[in-house]
Amino acid sequence: EVLTGEQWSTCEDFQINNRVLCAIRTTESGTSFPTRIRWCDINARSFVLDVTNWPDDNRYEFDVDGAAIVGGIDNWQALNVFKEDGLHPVTLVYDTGFIEMRLATARPILGFEPIAKNSLVSRPEFLFCIARDGAYVIRPDYSIERITRDIQGDWESLNQGRLANAHSWIRQRDHQVRTLMSSETNTVGHDRILVYDWQNGNVWFDTLSVAQAFGGSWIISNVEYDMYGSTDGYVQQANDSTQTQEDGTDIDYTIKMAPNDLGFPNKSKEVVNLNTHYRSQTGSQTIQLTVELDQGRLLRKTENLSIGTTLQWDTGLKWDSGLTWPGGVNEIEQTFVNRTIQTIAPQWTGTGP
């Protein structure tokens, strides 16, 4: 149904709370109201929405002349309004003959500064947003966690002037929130992806070879792909495990783990072997493995791993004459470490995964 009868000409966002359509951060008669939310009318007896009627008193002000609203997202029966000074959960409450908006918690959640409207995503387990000092997750009890605290050096190397342009989406099957962001030197589109795995809590950055302006997730033939909108107008498909090249060029990659205390902080552990699990594909390649020990206080361990094979069935090869069949699809390469350590941080570098 076409919206009519509203006092505002534009708004920053639409959200629905308790079945009522809300307009966030409206502009009215040329004047911006950065702390205002309006909602449409509803029949108090039949509870039928009327989006053609927006009564003037159906509005809520968050601290007039205070911090501006960034955006909102509906979850846990509340309209979670992110402002530049924190999170303000509110809810529309039906009363006799009218509706009013009330705080859904005892007080707002302050102390952090959300900045990117298009970074707001939610699941039943959490809300996610990009703020000035990092990425935040808010739980259903409204506890808050800065999930980028362990990679703050990488966060500081981002283009801080483009944080407001961050764009998030959810890759469901890999249980990831993925956010397009910009490196320090990038000024058009985004060349970094902040990845948050909500099952294990891991957070890292991926580097894009081509700057992208938009990202999302699509399922085609039961496969979940990333779909990007590039800065030059192309739609590009990613997250395809069958591909080893990008536009005909081998993909250079580095997989780097943060220092890991193996669940026993400040304790010495003897590490004998490090197992690298990988999925074998046609062809062979060499991967450089570097194992940092105790964050550089001990000598590192380095080794080249030869994985995959060019050998094929039914080509005249004799497996009982010295050749070793590489096994199935999922395989393991074992590296002899034999060190007493407190933390270990392996890194794998290669080309054409």
Q: Is the pLDDT of residue 224 over 80?
A: yes
**Rounded mean pLDDT, 217-228:** 91
Answer for the pair 48, 42: CB distance below 8 angstroms, yes or no: yes
Reduce the DSSP state of residue 142 to 3 states and report it. coil
pLDDT at 324: 60
* pLDDT in the model for residue 321: 64
Which pLDDT value is given to residue 100?
86
Tens digits of residue pLDDT in 145-194: 999 998 999 999 999 999 999 999 999 999 999 999 999 999 999 999 99
Q: CB of 127 within 8 A of CB of 109? A: no
pLDDT score of 282: 62
Is the confidence at residue 2, as pLDDT, over 50?
no
Report the 10 Å Cβ neighbour count for 198: 16
315/307: higher pLDDT: 307
**Tens of pLDDT, residues 260-298:** 999 999 999 999 999 998 876 666 778 999 999 999 899
Structure tokens at 228: 């990007």
- SS3 state of residue 229: strand
CA atoms of 183 and 158, how far apart (whole Å) = 4
Q: Is 160 helix (H, G, I), strand (E, B) or coil?
A: helix
Question: Residue 340, exposed/middle/buried by CB under 10 A (0-12, 13-18, 19+)?
Answer: exposed
Q: Cα separations (Å) of 97 from 41, 43, 47, 77? A: 11, 8, 11, 21
Distance CA 105, CA 233 (A): 44
86-118: pLDDT as tens digits = 999 999 988 766 788 998 988 999 999 999 999
Percent of the chain predicted with pLDDT > 70: 89
- Residue 10 in this model has a pLDDT that exceeds 60: yes
Left (φ > 0), alpha (ψ -120 to 50) or beta: where does 37 sit?
beta
Calculate the CA dihedral of residues 39, 45, 46, 52 and round it to 10 degrees: -30
- What is the per-residue pLDDT across 154-165, written as a single tens digit (0 to 9) for each? 999 999 999 999
Confidence of residue 1 (pLDDT cuts 50, 70, 90): very low
What's the whole-number average pLDDT of the chain? 88
Find the mean pLDDT for residues 333-343: 92
| Of the ranges 39-43, 229-233, 281-285, the best mean pLDDT one | 229-233
Q: Which of 21-30, 70-79, 262-271, 273-282 has the lowest mean pLDDT?
A: 273-282
The pLDDT of residue 346: 95
**275: amino acid identity, one letter:** N
Asked if 228 and 235 touch (Cβ cutoff 8 Å), the reply is yes
CA distances, 132 to each of 152, 244, 246 (Å): 12, 36, 33
Residues 193, 182: Cα–Cα separation, whole Å: 8
**Amino acid (1-letter code) at residue 198:** W
Give φ, ψ of 91 to 5 degrees: -150, 145
- What pLDDT, on the 0 to 100 scale, is given for residue 247? 67
Where is pLDDT greater, at 280 or 36? Answer: 36
Tokens of 36: 């205002």
If one counts every other C-beta atom within 10 angstroms of the C-beta of residue 82, the result is 30
